[in-house]
């Protein structure tokens, strides 16, 4: 049985090649900060995660969502120096230590699990994740003995002509016994051109102590690709989105064109939902089953039930759409909306903080803000809910089976009760009682002349 695993994530660097005021590891990939991709993966296999912060430390700590411990590297003096900041935790840990980098967001949980198992099965003191590259220029080369054990890592600038031909390269990711790591940290020095403490130098100590040093070679080089600039960032984005879309498709979601469909990592989608091209689904959105989501939709932090028809070119944010609704095209559903079963929200309708009950209709060309609309109610084309008086927002409450005539203006605060009606072009400034029709500007009760 494997011992508990302590993971140290290095997130202290400046990342100057990103050319950004934002810390490199806080740049998002598929809607989630790079550092959170790494920590969330590590958290699934670790008993504890320590994050080493330095540059913009407060910003990094504020954006990390998992329950981790932090250690500060106040001066960035190399990767070995970064790990030194977690010395107390490492000394108190009687098992393996996994070392990861916050700018390698593509590493997979299974890869780390398999590496850890390999390390344990082989009774290794140190296991380094490696891969083979056709062009290994710029990477540290893995030098092995006749027993396929690692004897050293040679950086590009120090490599001989023969060593530069080696294709197996160091990823930087390693699993090491905590006792071996403490001894190696004690032996590290900064006697080099950069005056830095290199983590790769732990190989020398473990080797000198007759420890077993192995490589865990992976086939997918993308997993260990570091993100150092915006080009790397775009490549990482593409890879993770491909993974996300593939997982949804394997779970029964139809994505017509995965190359033009952008889904964040935390999105949930039910089986038999069909997603058309140029759709963006972001944040913590949850979509049920048997929905049709047509092209050019942008859906953010929204809950969508089952059997809905989301037509093309809508923006839907921080709202709830229940079941069997028809939305759009070209609707704008702003935060705070609750749309009940069977509702129709038509083309060029904007709604904000609106509670719309079962089978109500707002078919086209309307603004609905700070409102409650009852079941079976119909809101005519061109209707405006005038919710703002210049200083405060006010609410409009509309009952069940109400008919709002085209081009009506409803001046809040206002209550139009069950089965009320407004004539076309009415400006309604006072409450409307049940079964009452109002017309005109300002709207007054319409009393039919039965005598003709």
pLDDT in tens, the chain (452 residues): 677 999 999 999 988 999 999 999 999 999 999 999 999 999 999 999 999 999 999 999 999 999 999 999 999 899 999 999 999 999 999 999 999 999 999 999 999 999 999 999 999 999 999 999 999 888 899 999 999 999 999 888 888 999 999 999 999 999 999 999 999 999 999 887 778 898 999 999 999 999 999 999 999 999 999 999 999 999 999 999 999 999 999 999 999 999 999 999 999 999 999 999 999 999 999 999 999 999 999 999 999 999 999 999 999 999 999 999 999 999 999 999 999 999 999 999 999 999 999 999 999 999 999 999 999 999 999 999 999 999 999 999 999 999 999 999 999 999 999 999 999 999 999 999 999 999 999 999 988 766 65
pLDDT at 131: 96
Q: Which residues pair with 347 in a beta bridge?
A: 364
The reported pTM is 0.90
Task: Kindly name the residue from 27, 119, 296, 364 that is annotated as catalytic.
Answer: 364
55 is catalytic: no
């Amino acid at each position: 049985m494997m011992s508990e695993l302590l993971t140290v994530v290095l997130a202290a660097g400046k990342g100057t090649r990103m050319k950004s005021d934002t810390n490199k590891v806080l740049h998002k990939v598929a809607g989630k900060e790079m550092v959170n991709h790494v920590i969330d993966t590590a958290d699934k296999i670790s008993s504890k995660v320590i994050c080493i912060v330095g540059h913009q430390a407060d910003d990094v700590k504020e954006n990390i969502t998992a329950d981790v411990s932090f250690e500060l590297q106040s001066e960035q003096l190399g990767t070995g120096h970064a790990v030194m900041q977690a010395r107390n935790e490492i000394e108190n840990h009687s098992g393996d230590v996994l070392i990861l980098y916050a700018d390698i967001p593509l590493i997979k949980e299974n890869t780390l699990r398999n590496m850890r198992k390999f390390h344990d099965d082989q009774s290794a003191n140190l296991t380094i994740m490696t891969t083979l590259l056709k062009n290994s220029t710029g990477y540290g080369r893995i030098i092995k003995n006749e027993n396929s054990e690692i004897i050293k890592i040679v950086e590009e600038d120090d490599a001989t002509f023969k060593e530069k031909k080696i294709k197996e390269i160091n990823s930087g990711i390693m699993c090491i016994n905590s006792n071996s790591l403490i001894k190696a940290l004690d032996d590290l020095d900064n006697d080099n051109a950069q005056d830095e403490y290199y983590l790769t130098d732990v190989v020398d100590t473990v080797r000198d102590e007759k420890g077993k040093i192995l490589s865990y070679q992976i086939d997918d080089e993308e997993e260990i690709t570091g993100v150092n600039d915006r080009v790397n960032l775009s490549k990482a984005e593409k890879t993770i989105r491909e993974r996300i879309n593939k997982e949804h498709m394997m779970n029964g979601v139809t994505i017509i064109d995965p190359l033009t469909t952008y889904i964040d990592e935390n999105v949930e989608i039910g089986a038999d939902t069909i997603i058309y091209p140029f759709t963006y689904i972001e944040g913590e959105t949850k979509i049920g089953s048997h929905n049709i989501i047509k092209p050019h939709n942008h859906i953010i932090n929204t809950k969508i039930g089952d059997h809905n028809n989301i037509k093309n070119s809508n923006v839907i944010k921080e709202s709830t759409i229940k079941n069997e609704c028809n939305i759009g095209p070209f609707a704008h559903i702003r935060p705070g909306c609750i749309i009940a079963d069977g509702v129709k929200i038509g083309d060029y309708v904007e709604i904000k903080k609106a509670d719309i009950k079962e089978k109500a209709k707002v078919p086209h060309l309307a603004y609905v803000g700070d409102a409650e609309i009852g079941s079976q109610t119909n809101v005519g084309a061109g209707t405006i809910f005038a919710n703002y008086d210049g200083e405060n927002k006010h609410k409009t409450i509309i009952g069940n089976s109400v008919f709002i005539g085209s081009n009506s203006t409803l001046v809040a605060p206002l209550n139009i009760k069950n089965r009320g009606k407004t004539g076309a072009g009415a400006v309604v400034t006072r409450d409307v009682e049940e079964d009452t029709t109002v017309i005109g500007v300002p709207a007054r009760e319409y009393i039919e002349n039965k005598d003709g």
